[in-house]
Structure 1
Amino acid sequence: MRRADRLFQIVQLLRRSGKPLTANRIATELETSKRSVYRDIAALMAQRVPIRGEAGIGYVLDSGFDMPPLMLTSDEIEAAVLGAQWVAGRGDPALARAARDLIAKIAATVPERLRPVVLEPAVASVGGWNVLPEAIDMADIRGAIHSARKVALHYRDEREVETRRTVWPFQVAYRETTRIVVAWCETRDDFRMFRADRVLTAEVLEDRYPARPAALRARWRAYLREQYGVPDH
């Protein structure tokens, strides 16, 4: 690995870590020596990268520091392209368009030597996935999640029983042929999952729910761990 690439990777490691990283941990991740890590950290600090560190504790990157846009490695580009391909084939129309635009923007912005990685990728998302017909606009549901707004659902379950509920949507999940709206249900006073193809109508209300979507997602993950032993990802 070139030293310039290694310096960039060190910043990336520190940025995504929520706690201090030791030189030994960084060296293991980058498959280099601790001595090289010490020299690289010193070089970054000399370039005014706001890294703080203590012997025996580790290094942290101060918040607010950012790198130039799209300073991506070949692997990162392929990961982004693969994810965008998946969304283009499985997302709602607005997300699918955004995914195709993202691939075009990456191709137009990365250095010339990396452009083939975008335009002729070695990875591909398998096509042929067909979502069951939906009567709701998933872009509206995503908008409700971003703005923490309640949604009035008219829903038909697998037994053909229809109910009307007010829910607090906080996540859209994807299964083989269906999208799932994960929400807190005011009627049941509990978490519930609603198959999008079984929603008859969905009205985004003006009322905001009294919790942050991120907090509900954290509670949902804790609920899954407790009830089903599902690990965090």
Structure 2
Amino acid sequence: MRRADRLFLLIHALRGRRSAITAQQLAQTLQVSLRTVYRDVADLQLSGVPIEGEAGVGYMLRKGADIPPLMFNEDELEALVVGTRFVRAFGGERLGRGATAALLKIEAVLPDALRERSRRTRIFAPQVAGRIENSGLIDALHAAIERRQVLRLDYRDGHGAVSAREVEPLALAFWGGTWTLGAWCRLRGDFRSFRPDRIAAHAPSGEIFADDPARNLDAYLRAVGTRSTG
């Protein structure tokens, strides 16, 4: 966890409490050592954060101290909460963790009424075991896109026949039940949209591809409406 995130979460743990919380409880909440808690609290106090208390007794924010609330209305807040739930369910493990952390930070600076409203949202995206998003494949494809890694795929077509492909991955799209990987296919010499659930095997080739205007993301997006799947 980044130190900035840890300090933010420490303040969040202290926020709104009527009684002191011990360093041991903070260490368990943040999953860090007692020494780290003592150091972080001291650093925050030196930075002007009004934390009262001491080691062996406990800590709390001085009464009246708070973080300025974000200016969300109820519809905006609900959109953020629901969006976070969908990312956790369908965005892969890495983005799911990021969405959870982001929502925690947002809720940390909300007024009490809006924080309670966020918890009453009744639109859910259940996380179900066995879905492709939980297999690590979406995370691997996402990482390859960010790093511009050429991928070698064993890809099954609609009839189950497998072909070997080398692709330059450009984007992932979620269609409400099915993912597609937009890429430049070197075998076809053209753009293709591959379904991750038909990828039998994948591995980076070790090659990094260049941003060629003729076959980059912008070119793919212009062509995607007229091209067939792989």
Output the TM-score relative to the length of structure 1.
0.57
Classify 1:216/1:116 alpha carbon distance in 2 versus 1 (closer, same or farther; 3 Å): farther
What is the CA distance between 1:140 and its match in structure 2?
1.6
Task: Tell me, in whole angstroms, the C-alpha distance in 2 between the residues paired with 1:82 and 1:151.
Answer: 33
For the pair 1:124 / 2:123, whether they are aligned, the reply is yes
**Does the residue aligned with 2:216 lie in a helix, a strand or coil?**
helix
Q: Which residue number in structure 2 is paired with residue 108 of structure 1? A: 108
1:70 deviates by: 7.8
**Structure 1 match to 2:179:** 179
Matching residue's letter, 2:78: E
Query: Any stretches of 5+ residues in structure 2 without a counterpart?
Result: 1-67
Q: Which residue of 2 aligns with 1:195?
A: 195
The alpha-carbon deviation at position 145 of structure 1 amounts to 0.9
Paired letter, 1:186? R
Q: For the structure 1 residues 208 and 84, does the alpha-carbon distance in structure 2 shift closer, same or farther, using more than 3 Å as the test?
A: same
1:23-102 correspondence to structure 2 within 5 Å:
71-74=70-73, 75-102=75-102
User: How much does 1:186 deviate?
Assistant: 1.0
Structure 1 residue 134, shift from structure 2 partner: 8.3
The CA distance in 2 between the partners of 1:161 and 1:70, in whole Å, is: 56
Q: Which residue of 1 aligns with 2:221?
A: 221
Deviation at 1:203, TM superposition (A): 0.8
1:100 & 1:133 partners in 2: Cα distance? 16
User: In terms of mean alpha carbon deviation, does 152-161 or 102-111 score higher?
Assistant: 102-111
Q: Provide structure 1 residue ranges, at least 5 long, that are not aligned to the other structure.
A: 1-68, 229-233
* Residue equivalent to 1:63: none
Judging changes above 3 Å, is the alpha-carbon distance between structure 1 residues 161 and 88 closer, same or farther for their aligned structure 2 residues? same
Matched, 1:159 2:159: yes
Deviations 1:154-210 (A, max 9, x none): 111111111111111111111343321111111111111111111011112331111
2:209 maps to what in 1?
209
Verify the 8 A CA contact 1:169 1:182 in the aligned structure 2: yes
Shift of 1:114: 2.5
Once residues 153 and 124 of structure 1 are traced to their aligned partners in structure 2, the CA distance between those partners, rounded to angstroms, is 37
Given residue 79 of structure 2, which amino acid in structure 1 is its aligned partner?
A
Contact 1:136-1:200 within 8 A present in 2 as well: no
Partner letter of residue 83 of structure 1?
Answer: G
Q: Deviations over 1:19-55 (max 9, x none)?
A: xxxxxxxxxxxxxxxxxxxxxxxxxxxxxxxxxxxxx
The 8 Å contact of residues 94 and 139 in structure 1, kept in 2 or not, is answered as yes
CA distance in 2 between counterparts of 1:162 and 1:135 reads 21
Aligned with 2:210: secondary structure? coil
Percent identity (aligned): 26
Q: Deviations over 1:52-80 (max 9, x none)?
A: xxxxxxxxxxxxxxxxx984422332222
